[in-house]
Amino acid sequence: MPSALALASTGRRRFLRGAAAAPLVCLGRPAAVRATEYASASEVLDTIDRREVEVAGRLAAIARAIAGAQAFADSVASDQAGHRADRDKLRHRLKLPASSVPAPPPDLSLAALREAQQELVHAHAEGLPALGDAGAVAVLARHLVDASRQLTVIDLWIEAEELRA
């Protein structure tokens, strides 16, 4: 099915499956699919901010063009507002500077939206080990759940569009 194929084609999923087949998680994965190693919590949060703004911009542009997308866009915007507030609290508690992120150019491509959402998911997942704070991991893990759910919704959406075509 398209969504499964799309997900299975991602580098990180190949990494996990490869790791399952070949015993050691950190060994034997090709450099091309190596997970991003973040150096600090600040870098993780900055990356998530950038990815989230990109998703929001792309989804807003699509929702303006496709009436049926508005409910999903509103739901994602609501989740993202909560996540931003949580990250602001984390930055304050961990004494990290605020970030400012420029909005991306509008784009109506579902594939580009999917790519942006996937990068947001990966930024959360790959960022957890760099946070160095159990409370921050717990918060971003909950955000990871939301972002992963949204990625799956986009996959199902793409799948439905392909079936319709």
How far is 160 from 75, CA to CA, in rounded Å? 19
Query: Nearer Cβ to other proteins, position 1 or 81?
Result: 1
How far is 50 from 123, CA to CA, in rounded Å? 10
**Helix, strand, coil distribution of the chain in percent, nearest 5:** 75, 0, 25
Query: Nearer Cβ to other proteins, position 62 or 121?
Result: 121
In the complex, minimum distance from the CB of residue 154 to other proteins, in angstroms, rounded to a whole number: 10
Whether the CB-CB separation of 157 and 8 falls below 8 Å is answered with no
In the complex, minimum distance from the CB of residue 89 to other proteins, in angstroms, rounded to a whole number: 16
In the complex, minimum distance from the CB of residue 16 to other proteins, in angstroms, rounded to a whole number: 5
Residue 22: φ, ψ to 5°: -115, 115
Query: Nearer Cβ to other proteins, position 103 or 156?
Result: 156
Give the interface with other proteins as residue ranges (CB under 8 A): 1, 3-4, 7-8, 12-13, 15-17, 19-21, 23-26, 35, 71-72, 75-76, 121, 124-126, 128-129, 134-135, 137-138, 141-142, 144-145, 148-153, 155-156
In the complex, minimum distance from the CB of residue 107 to other proteins, in angstroms, rounded to a whole number: 21
Query: Nearer Cβ to other proteins, position 20 or 165?
Result: 20
- DSSP state letters, 14-60: HHHHHHHHSS-TTSS--GGGPPP--S-HHHHHHHHHHHHHHHHHHHH
Whether the CB-CB separation of 159 and 11 falls below 8 Å is answered with no
In the complex, minimum distance from the CB of residue 144 to other proteins, in angstroms, rounded to a whole number: 6
